[in-house]
Structure 1
């Protein structure tokens, strides 16, 4: 079937697209070499899942080999869904560009002891093992069936990886301290166990909530970990931090703007000179608002008057910024919170901080708190991060 599919041509096309985009990490050439030696099709199950606009439909290699390969190699930015639960994706083969970016952020060297959380198909563990060496990678997977399948694939590839079944948020208790820790699922709060199990000076790379992925360095005294945002990658949510999981796939269905608007009449109107179009920039203001007001959902739309925005807190309050042909927007808001006013305040704070972008933000975790910061971890503005339900959405 592999010859019939001509899988090398699929691989070559994706490699070429990555090269043309400059997506291969220059500082970590081992990543490209590892992906060539251990292609993702060698770790994909025979059934994938594709969204057909209404539901997730199976794509079986035996029935539709070209469709299966096309799903697997569609784009550097597309994950391949490998398992569903309650009609929603629970596991995937992560998109190639993000896997490469996170591997680059890990700064992995031969001989490093590595802890991976979320084995999934085993592909990422295979890449890590090829770099770190035999027996250096421990991978934890919550789903026993996925863990067994991944262990089998890794063994078939000739790689020595210790695959454990358990709660990834607990790390790998009893194992030696790790030099590198990487998660393949998103957490809202960085589990303290990960920091405790990382050697001082070690590095932790993980998707953080719905904001992107972050790389933290553990302090020499082991009492904190801090580091910078690395990009806007999104992954499956942890199975144990329920607030994040529920909102990740149900945020549009639960507490929609229309529902909240019907339940609360307008309480205040006004105007702003702000251009709502700025809210749609995920690398600038959009990201800043997701840090400062993470519970808000912001949707934007464009018509002949300009860009307008519809905002809710997902519960009781809403606001609309309606574009004015002369610039700025009319504001209307309802509910106990004044979301347009809160937005105005956060917007001003972002400008005062010098309009930081994604890479100007970072995260710090201590035993008792977690907070985001901008520009400088010690002197820059900071915001509490990681509380229940803090899972923002900004979309257009």
Structure 2
């Protein structure tokens, strides 16, 4: 009889191999996945979306579904905690974990700081790489999650120092670190992360809703700079509410209200559905706005909202022409067209040709060239001490 866990692990491994998700430059990642299987760090209760909300799936009561959730696929996270109906912790998607570990460029003997322990799986994979001569410290805000993760790590025979604390403050007691990695998204990077990374060391972190970046700390320790490495989105820090546009839907924001503005659209809107580089540019220019697209027999349709009070819908008619209706205090499709035109005017730069520069007083994403490219400043003042 086939072992369901073994079979699902095999299917996931093959799916990762087929799509090239195993990092070629970091074969240790696949080895670590084999040595420290994902299910060994999954709690006995997971959460499944049933179409209207998250429902618990307990390993004892529904073992088959539990295994399916743990090993759903390369791009599927397993929700491990739900707070007020919204996921607040997860076992990250395997492809994302592999990509971020590849970005971290961790080596045996390194001292590594992880922010956001979660289940402990990511920390275990890093510890497998650094070996007995290295050290992994992981900071978790939730005492309950930290305690559970420490228990799983101990059962797996993996040495990780799990501490309860505010990840944004890092862990100065055991600094400096050769590598620092965050498992939750920030809108701006706490300076403590840079301050506690050794000069020449690497910091990997998810930035807002844009994806994850990898930066190298300058030799003078006054700045860090690097490139965008992946598009996956992460949950925010526990004390940071999720972006409104990711919590509420277009239907909820519009709430049946009639439009305040109607007009024809004099451009082909197909790229809104097909051009991922355009969608990246729009996300960067309008980070609080969500776009959903679909097609019917007439063409592409798009639904746009900011999670609070403004919305727009764009529909393609039988004649191939598009029209928009907008409502709320912001004209979101007008703003989208302005950002679209600016991106086109600057050469339609690929999402992969973006990077980020971090200093104590200024943080910004840039296009193409860190010195001459168009800049998008990250919100809020940056303190020298997080």
Give TM-score scaled by structure 2 length.
0.91
> Offset of 1:316 from its aligned partner?
4.7
> Offset of 1:298 from its aligned partner?
2.2
Query: Any stretches of 5+ residues in structure 1 without a counterpart?
Result: 389-396
> Offset of 1:190 from its aligned partner?
1.3
Query: Any stretches of 5+ residues in structure 2 without a counterpart?
Result: 382-386
> Offset of 1:344 from its aligned partner?
2.2
Superposition pairs of residues 166-315 of structure 1, within 5 angstroms: 166-242=165-241, 245-247=242-244, 249-252=246-249, 256-258=253-255, 261-262=257-258, 265-266=260-261, 269-273=263-267, 275-281=268-274, 283-315=276-308
Report what 1:369 is aligned to: 362
Report what 2:75 is aligned to: 77
- Helix, strand or coil at the partner of 2:174: coil
Judged with a 3 Å threshold, the aligned counterparts in structure 2 of structure 1 residues 45 and 335 are, in CA distance, closer, same or farther, namely closer
Report what 2:136 is aligned to: 137
Contact 2:146/2:162 (<8 A) preserved: yes
Contact 2:250/2:311 (<8 A) preserved: no
The 1-side partners of 2:244 and 2:59 are apart by 32
Q: 1:258-293: CA deviations, max 9, x gaps?
A: 46x54x622x634322x2221234621111000012
> Offset of 1:380 from its aligned partner?
0.7
- Give the aligned length: 380
Contact 1:50/1:57 (<8 A) preserved: yes
> Offset of 1:5 from its aligned partner?
4.6
Contact 1:151/1:163 (<8 A) preserved: yes
> Offset of 1:251 from its aligned partner?
3.2
Contact 2:104/2:181 (<8 A) preserved: yes
Contact 2:243/2:288 (<8 A) preserved: no
> Offset of 1:48 from its aligned partner?
1.2
Superposition pairs of residues 305-344 of structure 1, within 5 angstroms: 305-327=298-320, 329-344=322-337
Give TM-score scaled by structure 1 length.
0.89
Task: Report whether the alignment pairs 1:101 with 2:94.
Answer: no
Contact 1:227/1:362 (<8 A) preserved: yes
Judged with a 3 Å threshold, the aligned counterparts in structure 2 of structure 1 residues 282 and 111 are, in CA distance, closer, same or farther, namely farther
* Aligned alpha-carbon RMSD (Å): 2.3
Contact 2:186/2:206 (<8 A) preserved: yes
Q: Which of these residues, 335, 339, 344, is aligned with residue 351 of structure 1?
A: 344
Judged with a 3 Å threshold, the aligned counterparts in structure 2 of structure 1 residues 21 and 144 are, in CA distance, closer, same or farther, namely same
